Every structure is written in C-alpha cells, then in structure tokens.
Amino acid sequence: MVEILASQVVSGLATGCVYALVALGFVLIFKATDVVNFAQGEFVMASGFISYTLLIWYGLPYWLVFFVTILLSGVMGVVLERVVVRPIMSAPIFSIVIATIGASTVMRSAAGIVYGYDVLPLPTIFSKDPIRLGILNFTIMDVGVIGCSLAIMLALYLFFKWTKTGMAMRATAQSQTAAQLMGVSVKQIFSLTWAISAGIGGIAGVLIAPIIYLDPNLGIIGVKAFAGAILGGFGSIPGAIVGGMLLGVLENLSGYFFNAGIKQVSTYILLILVLIVRPSGLFGAVAMKKV
Amino acid sequence: MKRFHRSYAVLAAFIALICASRPPAAWAAEVGVTDKEIIVGAGVDLTGAVANWGVNIKAGMEAVFNRVNEAGGVHGRKIKLITYDHVYQPPKAVANAKRLVERDKVFIMMGHLGTPTTKAVKEYLEEKQVPNIFPATLASLWTTSGKWHVGDLATYADQTWLIIDYLVKERQFTKIASFYQDDEYGLDGHLAGKARLKHYGLDYIAEVDYKRADIDFSSQAAKLKESGAEAVILQAVYREPPRLAEQCHAVGYEPLFIGPSPIVVEKTIELGGRHVEGMIGVEVYPLPTDPGPFLDQYRADMQKYFPNLALDTTNVYGYQKAALFVEALQRTGRDLTRDALLNAIAGIKDWDPGWGLKYSYGGDDRRVMSRSARLVMVKDGKWARMGEWMELAEGGRR
C-alpha cells in the first residue's frame, strides 16, 4: 500500500511539475503586464506539435529538437504579443484577456487544420521503463520530467535574481513608471516576458506531450495550471510552482482513494477550500493600500 | 390620412409576400426522399476524443455511396450523406440532430457515432419518427428500443459475454477486473460482464472506472495492480488501452488486456507500441486485410475515393453499414418510405455480403443484424485472427 502511494506521489509530482511550468507562464505575464494570457495552454500544445514536426517530419535528433522547439515557442510568444496584445494595450484588461482567448481558439483550429484532430504519439528520449528504488516504483520519464522542470525553475530564479535583464523585469513588474525612469525599455521587457512565458510553455509541451499523446485539444492543460496558479496565489512565482505540484499530487491521490469522478473535481474542490481559508492563495500577498 | 393608408398598404403587401413565399408542396410521399435523391444524416465525432472512428466511419460510408451514385443510384435515386461534428459531446449531438431533422430534412439518421451521444438524441428521433439505422455504437440499448432503432452487429454486452466465457473456460482465470468508461458505453459491457460472471459464481475482483476523454490512469493502474487481477477487461476506445497498459507496465504489473471492438483499431497499436503486444480484442466484422469479394470491393473503393486514408477496421465499419443500408434500399424498391425501409430490413435473412458472415435480422425481440464475433490479438504490431467466427447463441444484457 505504501509502495503504491509512493509511486502515485512520484508520478503526481511529474505531472505537477508540468502544471507548475505552465502556471509559471501565467504568473510571469500577469506580474509584468496585468494580463492573464489564456493562450498559455495552447503554447504547450503548439510546442508539442512543433517538436513532432521536427522529430518526425524532418527527422532531427532529439536534443536539437528540444532546444529549437523552445526557441520557436519563444518566438511564438513574441509574435502573439506584438500582433494581438500590443495593438490593444490601452484597452481595458478584460478586452485583452478576451483577445488571448480568441488567439487560443485560432491556434487550436490551426493545429487541427494542419495536423488533423487525430491523436498522435510522440517519442521521447526518456524511457518509460519501470525502475525500483526501495519502495518506490517509477520511470525514467518521471525523473526526467521532474529534473528538467526543477532545472528550468532554478535557471529562472538565477536569471531574475542575478542578471540585469532579470532585474529590469522585476522592476517593471513592480512599477512601470519607475522602471522607465531608470532607463528600462518597458516595451522590450513586455516582449521578453511573453517570450519567456511561451518558452516555458514550450518546455512543458515537450515534456508532457510524449506522456499524454498529442492532439489539438492538449491546451486544456492550461485550465488546470491556471487553477494551480490561483491556488498558490496568483502573482506569486513560488506560489505557482507549489500550487502546480500540489495539484498534480492531489489529483493522483484522490483518483487512488476515491474514483475517477472525484479525481476530476478534486482540483476545483481544493481550490475552493483553500480560497475560503486564504482568499489570496497559499503564497499570495494580501494587497494593502496606504491611506 | 394619406400616410395612414399608405403604411397599411405597405404592411398588407409585406404580409402577402410572406404568404406567397411558402415552401413548395412536398415533392414526394416521404421526408428526405425526392424523385432523384435520398438524404441521409449522420452525427459523428470529427474533432474530439474518438475522431479516429468518426472520420473513418464517414469515409467508409461515403466510399459506398460514391460508388453506388456513380452507377446511377438505387432505383434511380442518388444517396446524399450530410454529416455534422458533435465532438463526442451529447449536447452538441442533440443540436446537430435537430439541424439534420428539421433543417436538412433527412430521411433517416445513419451511423450516428458514440453511445452517450446517440443516447442523447434517442428520444428526439423517436418523437420525430426518424429511423436510427445502424448507429455506430454497439450498445445493447439499440437492439431493444423499439421500432425506430435498428442495430447492426453484436453488442458490447454480447462481446463481453464472449470475453468472460473465453477468460473463464479457456484461460481458467478467476481474478478478472473491469476498466470501464463511466457512461452508457462502458456500463453496457461492464454490467453484462458482471451478470455473466455470476453465472460462473464469480464477480469482478476490481472495478475501476474513468471519465470519458480522460488521459491519465496512474491511479487506476495502481488499483488494478493492488487487486492482483490476471485479466483486465477494457470497456474503452483507442486512447485509453495503450495508456493504461503503459502505466500498468510502469508499476511492474502485466495482466492480460482484453476488450470489445472499439479497441480493435490501428491507432491502439500506434499509440501503445510494445505495451499493447498480446492485447486481445473482439471483432464483429472482418479485418481490412481479410480476403473475399466484399473486401476486395472495399479496398478498391477506398483506394479510389480515399487513397490517403489507411485501410483500418474503422473504415470497414462505416463501409459495411452503408453496404447493408444499400442492400435494404434495394429490397425496399422504388416506393420508399420510412416504414417500408424498416420492413425491408426486418425481412433480411441469411444475407452474405461476401465475407462468409451472414446478416439475418435477429428474432427473439432483438433488432439487430448479426451476432457473430471473433477474437483477435496484437501480434508483432498487428491485429491478427485468433480463431474462427462464433455465433453468439445467447444474448448479453437485454
């Protein structure tokens, strides 16, 4: 029983890491621009298809595909920002959010037109063979996904803390005016934020597509990740990570202890419970205004 | 005073115009049938969770209709097929059915895909008296729902009886688990299996469900492993078996996987790779690679009209439905009404389309055309025959 539980937690952490990455994408854009990008899930889906194209149609080696996909995802993010968001930047936030929803629909349909709506298998460099370590049963795939995700999160942390651009992004998130006064090009920072968010979505896509098969409706993962971000406190980066991981583990455990029906709603039940107790999420800061 | 009169005149002219533009009187004695055409409707999944089935069923049906139309149609009428996409979602299926019946005025609903989706439109079709012919769902429901529904092949309940008999009598398994889709589709086979196990004094050692369109089964795999089941019956489609097999193998659990016809698809092997090697399925119509005049015609038609689609059990399924429908149309004759068609179908006995299986309208109150089934297994990455056709003597869940 403990053995089964342990393996459930490990595979839950693997899916949770992917949710965490996507949630991070949401939070980064939100912190910098106050916009919730509902096309984030579609970035994941698109990167899955891009890696499929490079791997299967062009036969490129796996590691090259990994990096090229992330690069192309980043470019996609910038394109979306320039074409969809920037022209309507002065509109109410709600309008921009609706525009991102529109973009997500367009992306989904485009994928359907090009690749069809059938489900496609994506090969992976991480083997799905089982390994036993004491009481733990897991696969190299699980370890690979968790490892990559943690590496990315660490890289982002270092980027934000120690590089000039990272600091500029943090500054812009805190106050656009002050950052501009300090010589930061806010427009460039916005583009960079979208590029990084989309790139993270890209990594998530490359990691998860081999696990759950590829099809244009893959973007639905964005909804779960969004819930994870809210759980952790929307606007908090560590919150997004913890929220996503918690969600992944919880889903698996509720599926094991209860049934498939409960598993589906466990995400939202947890969300409601947490928000009742802590309305700003686990790590969210309660906004205080000085009068 | 003058303006008053003028606006009345305009209003009167408007009303007259609307009255005059009534649609012309019915051109034939039956809805969806004209002198030159028969309009047939189908609601299928083209972009959702079972899109592989939907796209191919549509192609299979169109291949038959194209060939028949090119040869002049049936009794001088060409067959026109109108399909709408319901994405395997019941509410959309209902909306599409209304469109087909009320706006497109179809003669019959043909090959409607999906058990939950077809169940959603069942009452509406009955109310409008539109025959639901050979729906692309083998739930036993269609065989016992009365005049307006006609099934074609052995139901999921029948197939699960066959599976249980095979597992208990030939493999001598006593620990059998059921992995089923938690809706009308999965429950049909699942409950029939439970009843059949009772006949042997057994019960499922584990009953694990999943929600339609779910993609992760690690908890189900854990539960199945814990139960120690020797065989797992999969009341699923083509996405779930490979994923479940993969996740079971990942926790070091390797039972025999066996399931009814929806899993017998190329896609299952494509997605599952070596994890589905040894998986057993039930098929209720031949494999696309089987010999025979009917299948030769099928291969020729698919090559001519859909050269880019791979030959697969999914398109044979649509093809045989359409072929059966055309046979029924031939027998009905030129005087085509819904009742006449239903009577003609009821009169079909021992019709061999050319593959050694006989279609006979089923007696014992079950409105279905064939009760034959056969076991197949994934061997070296292909579905291969395991034995001969079996006629199911007793029925499954009624």
What are the tokens at B106? 């179809």
Predicted ipTM > 0.85:
no
Q: In this predicted structure, what is the pLDDT of residue B193?
A: 93
Residues 271-300, chain B, touching A (beta carbon < 8 A): 271, 273
Give the H/E segment covering residue B68.
helix B51-70
Return the residue matching tokens 């973009």.
A103
Structural contact between residues B84 and B114, judged by C-beta atoms closer than 8 angstroms:
no
Count of domains observed in chain A? 1
Q: Which residues of B touch A138 (CB under 8 A)?
A: 250
* CB–CB contact B48 A217 (8 Å): yes
What are the tokens at B274? 């070596």
- What is the C-alpha to C-alpha distance for residues A197 and A26, in angstroms, rounded to an integer? 7
Residue at A116 is within a domain: yes
* CB–CB contact B219 A119 (8 Å): no
* pLDDT tens digits, one per residue of B168-225: 999 999 999 999 999 889 999 999 999 999 999 999 999 999 988 788 888 899 999 9
Largest CA distance in chain A: 62
* CB–CB contact A117 B219 (8 Å): no
Q: Which residues of B touch A253 (CB under 8 A)?
A: 219
Nearest to B235 by CA among B179, B292, B157, B163: B179
* CB–CB contact B47 A132 (8 Å): no
What are the tokens at A164? 């000039």
Q: Which residues of B touch A15 (CB under 8 A)?
A: 216
Q: Which residues of B touch A8 (CB under 8 A)?
A: 218-219, 222
Residue at A281 is within a domain: no
Q: How far is B139 from chain A (nearest CA, A)?
A: 22
Domains of chain B, earliest start first: 37-153+288-367 (3.40.50.2300), 156-283+377-391 (3.40.50.2300)
Nearest to B216 by CA among A11, A79, A55, A243: A11
- Which chain A residue lies closest to B211 (C-alpha atoms)? A260
- What is the C-alpha to C-alpha distance for residues B288 and A3, in angstroms, rounded to an integer? 44
Residue B158 CB partners (closer than 8 Å, separation 6+): B140, B192, B371, B373, B392, B395, B396
Q: In this predicted structure, what is the pLDDT of residue B2?
A: 58
Rounded to two decimals, the pTM is 0.84
Residues 139-168, chain B, touching A (beta carbon < 8 A): none
State which residues form the domain around A170. Answer: 2-218
Q: How far is B218 from chain A (nearest CA, A)?
A: 7
Q: How far is B176 from chain A (nearest CA, A)?
A: 19
pLDDT over threshold 50, residue B27:
no
Q: Dihedral sign, CA of A104, A109, A115, A117?
A: positive
Structural contact between residues B387 and B291, judged by C-beta atoms closer than 8 angstroms:
no
* pLDDT tens digits, one per residue of A117-172: 888 888 877 777 777 777 677 788 888 888 988 998 888 888 888 898 888 888 88
How many residues are present in chain A? Answer: 291
Q: Looking at the complex, does the CB of residue A135 fall below 8 Å from at least one CB of chain B?
A: no
Q: Looking at the complex, does the CB of residue A123 fall below 8 Å from at least one CB of chain B?
A: no
- What is the C-alpha to C-alpha distance for residues A119 and A104, in angstroms, rounded to an integer? 19
Residue at A224 is within a domain: no
Mapping DSSP onto H, E and C, the string for chain A reads CHHHHHHHHHHHHHHHHHHHHHHHHHHHHHHHHCCCCCCHHHHHHHHHHHHHHHHHHCCCCHHHHHHHHHHHHHHHHHHHHHHHHHHHCCCCHHHHHHHHHHHHHHHHHHHHHHHCCCCECCCCCCCCCEEEECCEEEEHHHHHHHHHHHHHHHHHHHHHHHCHHHHHHHHHHHCHHHHHHCCCCHHHHHHHHHHHHHHHHHHHHHHHHHHHCECHHHHHHHHHHHHHHHHHCCCCHHHHHHHHHHHHHHHHHHHHHCCHHHHHHHHHHHHHHHHHHCCCCCCCCCCCCCC
Q: Which residues of B touch A260 (CB under 8 A)?
A: 182, 209-211, 214, 220
pLDDT over threshold 60, residue B395:
no
* pLDDT tens digits, one per residue of B76-93: 999 999 999 999 999 999
- What is the C-alpha to C-alpha distance for residues B214 and B206, in angstroms, rounded to an integer? 19
Q: Compare CB distances from A130 to B52, B216, B252 and report the shortest one's residue.
A: B252
Structural contact between residues A54 and A60, judged by C-beta atoms closer than 8 angstroms:
yes
Nearest to B238 by CA among B218, B219, B257, B220: B257
- What is the C-alpha to C-alpha distance for residues B394 and B386, in angstroms, rounded to an integer? 21
Residue at A96 is within a domain: yes
* pLDDT tens digits, one per residue of A142-152: 888 889 889 98
How many CB pairs below 8 Å do chains A and B form together?
Answer: 85
Q: In this predicted structure, what is the pLDDT of residue B122?
A: 94
- What is the C-alpha to C-alpha distance for residues B75 and B38, in angstroms, rounded to an integer? 11
Q: Compare CB distances from A260 to B209, B239, B246 and report the shortest one's residue.
A: B209
Residue at A210 is within a domain: yes
Residue at A88 is within a domain: yes
What's B310's DSSP letter?
P
Using alpha carbons, list the distances in angstroms from residue B179 to A114, B201, B205, B224, B235: 34, 20, 11, 9, 6
Residue at A191 is within a domain: yes
Q: Dihedral sign, CA of B229, B234, B240, B246?
A: positive
